[in-house]
A and B are shown apart, each in its own frame.
Chain A
């Protein structure tokens, strides 16, 4: 119990060294590794997201917390592979064509990893063709699209159409996000879901594709 609370605190304050230390301690005392993620890290990142919305936290704090979480995960991941509960599915993510904003996308990507998904991050300014190629090659369960510019939102639509044209649309779910987006827009372009922030993105991904196979 104390371990979970301490890990939560370490991630919340972005203290990487402490997060690693507490995780090691937890694993030695044979706490369920999955509980470290579900009951400490995810709730911590939820709170980080909330503080960001409230303008108590800013981008450095977001990145520090994500870094602390990732460092702790390095220790946990091999153990999850042992128990067979390895991946929860394969996600291909990127910022769409014409758009270079990647801070938010990087966070979402880190959170997906945190939640146990395997993530293929294609970076920013990613063409519809590149999304299609990666989704096919990795046999992705979900494609995450990020856009921060109003003028690049149509690239999301063309990416979804390209997935359709490639015959992949019934096999991959599409999750969209980025500051100028909305649920209405997601519906309009036939995405499966929209999430306003990184923790909501994890929840949406779990609902859409939780428990699938890792990337190929």
Chain B
């Protein structure tokens, strides 16, 4: 069974041969082809080579255009610092929205001609050309809270959610406008699925998440579905207290960070939700042993029951020992996937 078919079979409830495998790789993938990360993030040909090479070596079911959280922010005019061998990062002290009222003047650029977004779109076209039909092709957008943090500065945004909720609501709505334009262009270029990264959403707490972030994430997910693509939502960090809300979002894949007990996610989301994750990428996948990785995944799998995709809680970090990652690959290969809702594997 080809990777793309395998993942789509799981999502659509058709039988499949084994558990799908979809870990996030960025710096790890660049290291695999021996290219400094700065080039991986800024040249789609390098990213595509890194993704395809990594997926082939480790039998992943997907390739992804994820690279750094700054593509949208850069094209909106935010100050970005580029590093030779690290992901680009926004310069918070020069935040684009240093004054909240500057939001009124912000306009969505056309993703197909704005340089950093266009580079991701080019990556997706090239991925479609090279591995389309074989591997699932994943595009990526920043979620409303993450992009808002990149534009306003995360420290300022965390106070805004209390001081100026109206502003935060408007800002998140703007971010979703852009995300939907960007997602459309990525789907047209070849993405089967759009990953949504909304790291900062884990920091605000359930009440403010419900009020300010949830409605916009939901609108984004519905909008991507309307484009004919699937969604994977990944929120870095502690989202245990958000599970009841995450369950209602309707994302095809809920990708959980390692701090979230999968059994709680299963209980909150019900048997239909596809869950992905979530061993500790640092302590266990990078710092542990192959046996530990197998055991950790066994626990996740048992807790998730059916409708489960193998992966780590977050990005597979640089310098992860190959035997540990191979143990993850072997785990997926050795276990049958459950298309339908199941109790235990």
Contacts and interface: CB of A to CB of B under 8 A. Distances in A.
A1 to B, nearest CB: 29
A64 B318 CA distance: 35
B155 A106 contact: yes
Contact of A100 (B89, B162, B318, B319): B89
Contact of A64 (B89, B154, B159, B317): B159
Interface residues of A, number: 19
Contacts of B161: 60
Contact of B204 (A59, A64, A100, A151): A59
Nearest to B205: A58
Contacts of B113: none
B184 interface: no
B158 A59 contact: yes
Contacts of A100: 89, 92
Given A59-B204, A61-B205, A180-B282, A150 B317 contact: yes
Contact of B155 (A55, A58, A63, A150): A63
Interface centre among B89, B154, B158, B318 (most CB of A within 10 A): B158
A46 interface: no
Contacts of A180: 282
Given A57-B205, A59-B203, A60-B161, A151 B240 contact: no
A151 B155 CA distance: 23
Interface residues of B, number: 22
A59 B149 CA distance: 13
Contacts of B282: 150, 180
B86 interface: yes
Interface string B94-114: 000000000000000000000
A150 B317 CA distance: 9
B162 A64 contact: yes
Contacts of A59: 158, 203-205
Given A55-B240, A63-B159, A180-B282, A151 B89 contact: no
B286 interface: yes
Interface of B: 86, 89, 92-93, 154-155, 158-159, 161-162, 203-205, 208, 238, 240-241, 282, 286, 317-319
14 contacts: A14-B162, A55-B241, A58-B204, A58-B205, A59-B205, A60-B159, A60-B162, A60-B205, A64-B159, A100-B92, A102-B92, A103-B154, A103-B155, A180-B282
